[in-house]
Structure 1
Amino acid sequence: MAEADPTIFKALALVPEVTITDAAALDALLRETDRPFVVRGLVADWPLVQAGRRSNQEARSYLLERHRDVPFAVSVGSPASGGRLFYNDAMGMNFHMLRAKLPEIFAKIDANEGRADAPPIYLASIDMHEYFDGLHEANHVDLGDRTSLASIWMGTRTRIAAHNDVPNNLACVAVGRRRFTLFPREQFRNLYLGPIDNTPAGRAISMVDFHAPDFEAHPRFREALAHAQTVELEAGDALYIPALWWHHVEGLEPFNILVNYWWRETPRWLGQPQDALNHALLSIRELPDDQKAYWRDLFDYYVFGNADDVTAHIPEEGRSILAPLTPESAGRIRAFLLRQLSL
């Protein structure tokens, strides 16, 4: 896999590092901050980390002893891709999605380890509870009362284009090394995002090749780099990525494992903002400009402003979905939308 241009990326700001003494200190910091931070050695005592330090084969053996005998989803790319899982020239994907048992996948990784023409092999966001027995119990971070999704990511050298996720994210390197390049939420205009429906993994991605940026085609990317932060994580290190921060992720070793935790600060029964964006593209974007201006103003009034004067003139018992949402009122909105979309 080609190295990033050092004249660009070595000049980036580093993600701040913090010291965490216990679960309570981590919990407090996660509640207080809205910025990324690194904790060196947070998961250094995990058995999986210890196995990986002995060898890649021992890490794979550790997982094989605990995996369930079910097919895993795996992405397999072209050796010519340099590990970059991205679009092809026709805006399809430059990799294939397959399903195979974990021993078969690891056998392919074993057979290709050390080869210059090895294809990238990547298992993304595998639910630890669903696909393994006892793995999470022996290798996890205490996140207090947060309801989190624990996922494991395994594979060879890879480059994952800059994207963001709706939940907060604590990413822990278990085996290998990973480089993260992060951008604040508002930098999306400078990242040159691709389609929001045709994506490699469900989220819009930056079209910029971070190893060979084309500043003529993507001149605003220089501004994004001025706000970027970067960090290289060793096995045992962890990185906190706040919700909606953009992140480009590189697996730097022949074999890499990441465990991450996603959680939302809002109730699960609330809707997904991405669904609202998709619906707005369907129903608002093609309207005449004067009508779009009206709807922008109305969204500001009801959604983004949401000030007291929106409902002050309505009796409290009659405010319906303009009142603070509950699981019941959210359910009514969802049912109404489903009926309308089915017409």
Structure 2
Amino acid sequence: MTGLATPSPIAELHGIDRVRFDAEVRPAAQPVVLRGLAADWPAVRAARTSDEALVDYLKTFSHAEPVGAIVGPPEIEGRFFYQPDMTALNFTRGRSPLDPFLDRLLRDRTVPQPYAMAVQSIPAPDLLPGFAEAQGIDLVDTQVVPRLWLGNAIRVATHYDLMENIAVVIAGRRRFTLFPPDQVANLYMGPYELTPAGTPVSMVDPDSPDLERYPRFAQAMDNAWEATLEPGDALYIPFHWWHAVASLAPVNMLCNYWWDPAPQGMANPYDALLLALFSLRTLPEDQRRVWRTMFDHLVFRTEGDPAAHLPHHVRGVLGEADRDGLEQMRAALRQSLNRS
């Protein structure tokens, strides 16, 4: 990436505990590498012994039921993305028992141009029953279910999660390149309707960016952060930080913990965004400015509580959100959408 800024190294912490994580790390809303967080996990110790030792260890938990997997041909060079015309993805989805998948990972280590293979984001109890109980972290609540990722040398397009995330490398090495949420305009977001990773991805290949087509990506790189993790290392990725992930070894495994500290049971902000695309985006510019002011005042509260001057019993939707109020708003919204 000649001519582009070198990403800043992500800050590192050692020996972090839950108290410090909640008091310092999460409020800062900055990514942090947690070196050696899972160094004592049995799976990490097996991976550091050899790929074969890791596979043998995983097979003590595996089962014969098929699990979801994705496969891409050698010509994609490990990058799960779109076909050139963007009407389809460049990989296929299928199902396979885990043991043959693991055996294929070992066999393909010597193949010059192997198929890209991955088992992605499967809850640990479903993929490897008992695995989560044998290793874990104390930085998140115990009800947070870890998810497992397995594959060879693949690249995941720059994307964001609508969750807090701690990603723990078990085997192989992974390079994470992160961009703050405010870089969205410089990352050239892809379509919402068809995505390789759930949420929209950046159209720019960070390893080989086309700056003639995506010139603002140079500004994104001015604000990029990067770290390479070894087995046992972890990375805290705050809510909505964009991240590209490159697995750098023929056998890779990651465990991640997603959680959402927002109040549960409320309306989905993602739905509000999609509705805004249809209801606000096409308005005249002067009207959009007015609505931006109203959102800043009422929703984002840039000037404090907009209902502080009202008695509590008449604040209505401007007061504290609760389930009853939410149901009333949902009913009003359904009625409004049915009329439009």
Shift of 1:248: 0.7
Partner residue in 2 for 1:53: 48
Q: What code does the residue aligned with 1:90 have?
A: D
- Alignment pair present for 1:302 and 2:298: yes
1:293-340 CA deviation, whole Å, 9 max, x = no partner?
333333223212275673345442132222111233234334544555
- Hey, what does 2:65 align to over in structure 1? 70
Sort the Cα spacing of 1:71 and 1:29 in 2 relative to 1 into closer, same or farther, 3 A: farther
Aligned counterparts of 1:56 and 1:194: Cα–Cα separation in 2: 36
Q: Which runs of 5+ in 2 are unaligned?
A: none
Per-residue deviation at 1:75? 1.0
Please tell me whether residue 143 in structure 1 is matched to residue 139 in structure 2. yes
Distance 2:269 2:313 in 1: 27
Distance of 1:293 and 1:228 partners within structure 2: 31
8 Å contact kept, 1:44–1:50: yes
State the alpha-carbon separation in 2 of the partners of residues 94 and 40 from structure 1: 34
Shift of 1:166: 1.6
The 3 A distance-change label for structure 1 pair 311 and 274 is same
Matched, 1:318 2:314: yes
Relative to 1, partners in 2 of residues 1:32 and 1:116: Cα closer, same or farther, differing over 3 Å?
same
Question: Is 1:123 the counterpart of 2:119 in the alignment?
Answer: yes
Identity, % of aligned pairs? 39
Q: Do structure 1's residue 233 and structure 2's residue 234 form an aligned pair?
A: no
Q: 1:281 to 1:51 in 2, by over 3 A?
A: same
User: Which is worse superposed, 70-79 or 14-23?
Assistant: 14-23
CA–CA distance in 1 between the matches of 2:181 and 2:135? 30
Q: d(CA) in 1 for partners of 2:104 and 2:16?
A: 40
| Cα displacement string for residues 249-303 of structure 1 (whole angstroms, at most 9, x for unaligned residues) | 0000001011111112211222322211111112222233344333333322321
* TM, length-normalised to structure 1: 0.90
1:236-255 equivalences under 5 Å are 236-255=232-251
Q: What is the rounded CA distance, in whole Å, between the counterparts of 2:66 and 2:334 in structure 1?
A: 33
Q: Which runs of 5+ in 1 are unaligned?
A: none
Deviation, structure 1 residue 140: 0.9
| Alpha-carbon distance between aligned partners in 2 of 1:8 and 1:42, rounded to the nearest angstrom | 32
- Relative to structure 1, the CA distance from residue 265 to residue 21 in structure 2 (aligned partners, 3 Å threshold; closer, same or farther) is closer
Q: 1:93 aligns with which of 51, 74, 89?
A: 89
CA distance in 1, matches of 2:35, 2:57: 23
Provide the aligned length of Structure 1 versus Structure 2: 338
**Match of residue 11, structure 2, among 8, 16, 35:** 16
Q: Return the alpha-carbon distance in structure 2 between the equivalents of residues 251 and 317 of structure 1.
A: 55
Matched, 1:81 2:76: yes
Aligned CA distance change for structure 1 residues 96 and 132 (closer, same or farther; 3 Å): same
Aligned to 1:39, which of 34, 43, 57?
Answer: 34
Counterpart of 2:328? Answer: 332
- Structure 2 length-normalised TM: 0.91
Distance 1:314 1:40, change over 3 A: closer
Structure 2 distance, partners of 1:87, 1:20, is 40
Distance in 2 separating the partners of 1:177 and 1:309: 47
- What is the deviation of 1:153? 0.9
Give the AA of the match of 1:257. M
